[in-house]
Amino acid sequence: MTYTVTLLPGDGIGKEVMTSAVQVMHAAAKKVKVTIQVVEKLIGGASIDQFGVPLTEDTLETCRRSDAVLLGAVGGPKWEKLEHQRKPEAGLLKIRKALELFANLRPAQIYPGFLQASSIKEEILDGTDFIVVRELTGGLYFGEPRGYDQDKGWNTMIYTRPEVERIARMAFQMARQRKHKLISVDKANVLECSQFWRSVVEEVHQDFPDVELKHLYVDNAAMQIVRDPRQFDIILTSNLFGDILSDIAGIITGSLGMLPSASLGIKYALFEPVHGSAPDISGQNIANPIAMISSVGMMYNYAWKLPQVAELIESAIRRTLAAGYRTKDIYTTGDTLVSTTKMTEIILKNMEQS
Ligand code: NAD
């Protein structure tokens, strides 16, 4: 089997952690006898410097011709003063929209040795393992009309039937591959848009009778994630609510340098760490590569349906952390402090040995 991957390292530590990710991607491919061809393109500030725009048509076309896209991170002080449309971050929004990546997946899981580091009590957190499935290309963030004048500001929360159906269907399918439990989060007690969301989710549920469906209001869901995170398996929610809940979910279980994500559509898929380009530590070989490496695991799982490869990568990360290796962002006294390249080397060695 041969796959093509477009690499978009971007800016700052994006480039550093991408180097780690590519090594892990190829090492995993070798293990399962898959061939991966890569094409590297520019995005963000790097693209602005060369082409004057954060994302070119050529880069987009290359992504469209690939089986998956791996993205590092974009942005930095050098481009901060540019007008909104020309900023590196505009390239991110454009690529998500152009590739119709309507589902954003963020796992919340606990790595060994991280129970004590969380702001949540160990006995409440232990065993937490769920995924937030957030609708990414609709809802309040894209609804029209929108705007502001001197006296008021306004946005529109709107969802169409196909938009809710496709994300719900994807979430139910994922629930089928896990614990057959799905919680849909809305604000149906106040918002008509949420009432509609709820009714469409219930319709889609009829095709998945083997999956248990519950509904939670978003305020309650935020509280429950902190109170009893183990009750969740798949959380399905809209763009605005997902933005907030996925940050809560991510940070109760780990550090920014360890959170991967997947953005999926019908035809295309993009994988990237949750963190940004971290200009404060860029170029020092101290960035944590785990979020990016774990995003490679998600690529094998969701783009190519090779969950055994994702597990190979995740188990190598778990063993590396269990042995006490830490980059600076997650280091505490008694751990072994390692650089980006050393952390990658140890993860690769652990993959080799499984
Ligand atoms: P950031 O995620 O880059 O950094 C926040 C803090 O976390 C920093 O102290 C940084 O050193 C640390 N950090 C982040 N990732 C780390 C890692 N892998 N290892 C160790 N430490 C890590 O967020 P920010 O500082 O708010 O933004 C910096 C730039 O990145 C801005 O231009 C912003 O717009 C951009 N950004 C891009 C993305 C993206 O590309 N998806 C996401 C968020 C921010």
Residue 261 CA to ligand 1 center (angstroms) comes to 14
Residue 276 CA to ligand 1 center (angstroms) comes to 3
As a whole number of angstroms, the distance between CA 70 and CA 255 comes to 21
Residue 280 CA to ligand 1 center (angstroms) comes to 9
Q: One of 58, 126, 207, 219 is an active-site residue; which one?
A: 219
Alpha helices per DSSP H over the chain: 13-31, 45-51, 57-64, 88-98, 122-125, 161-177, 192-205, 218-227, 239-253, 290-298, 307-322, 340-352
- Determine the pLDDT at residue 145: 96
Testing ligand 1's pocket by substitution, the residue of 277, 294, 344 carrying the most ligand atoms inside 8 A of its CB is 277
| Neighbouring C-beta atoms of residue 335, cutoff 10 Å | 15
Mean pLDDT, residues 154-166: 97
Any idea what DSSP says for residue 178? T
Nearest CA to ligand 1 atom 23: 276
Mean pLDDT, residues 310-323: 96
33: annotated active-site residue: no
Q: Among 47-56, 112-121, 155-164, 279-288, which stretch is predicted with the lowest mean pLDDT?
A: 112-121
Q: Which of 2-11, 103-112, 241-250 has the highest mean pLDDT?
A: 2-11
- Determine the pLDDT at residue 112: 77
User: Using a 6 Å cutoff on CB, does residue 256 contact ligand 1?
Assistant: yes
What amino acid occupies position 149?
D
Say whether 225 sits in a helix, a strand or coil: helix
Q: CA torsion, points 89, 94, 97, 100, in degrees to nearest 10?
A: -110
User: Using a 6 Å cutoff on CB, does residue 75 contact ligand 1?
Assistant: yes
- Determine the pLDDT at residue 290: 97
- Determine the pLDDT at residue 84: 84
**pLDDT (tens digit, 9 = 90+) per residue, 178-211?**
999 999 999 999 999 999 999 999 999 999 999 9
User: Using a 6 Å cutoff on CB, does residue 257 contact ligand 1?
Assistant: yes
148: annotated active-site residue: no
Sign of dihedral through CA atoms 252, 254, 256, 260? negative
Strand-pair category, 2-10 with 35-40: parallel
- Determine the pLDDT at residue 116: 79
Residue 56 CA to ligand 1 center (angstroms) comes to 23
Q: One of 31, 67, 179, 247 is an active-site residue; which one?
A: 247
- Determine the pLDDT at residue 268: 97
Q: In terms of Cα–Cα distance, which of 182, 255, 169 is closest to 221?
A: 182
User: Using a 6 Å cutoff on CB, does residue 107 contact ligand 1?
Assistant: no
Q: Among 87-101, 106-120, 219-233, 292-306, which stretch is predicted with the lowest mean pLDDT?
A: 106-120
Residue 281 CA to ligand 1 center (angstroms) comes to 9
62 and 71 Cβ atoms separated by less than 8 Å: no
User: Using a 6 Å cutoff on CB, does residue 258 contact ligand 1?
Assistant: no
Strand-pair category, 103-109 with 260-264: antiparallel
Residue 253 has pLDDT above 80, yes or no: no
285: left (phi over 0), alpha (psi -120 to 50) or beta: left
Q: One of 243, 328, 335, 342 is an active-site residue; which one?
A: 243
Q: Name the band, by pLDDT with cuts 50, 70 and 90, for residue 93.
A: confident
The pLDDT > 70 percentage for the chain reads: 100
**pLDDT (tens digit, 9 = 90+) per residue, 12-32?**
999 999 999 999 999 999 999
Strand-pair category, 103-109 with 212-217: unpaired
**pLDDT (tens digit, 9 = 90+) per residue, 25-63?**
999 999 999 999 999 999 999 999 999 999 999 999 999
User: Using a 6 Å cutoff on CB, does residue 287 contact ligand 1?
Assistant: yes
Both tokens assigned to 72:
């590092």
187: annotated active-site residue: yes
Q: In terms of Cα–Cα distance, which of 105, 123, 104, 120 is closest to 253?
A: 120
**pLDDT (tens digit, 9 = 90+) per residue, 101-118?**
999 999 998 887 888 778
Residue 342 CA to ligand 1 center (angstroms) comes to 21
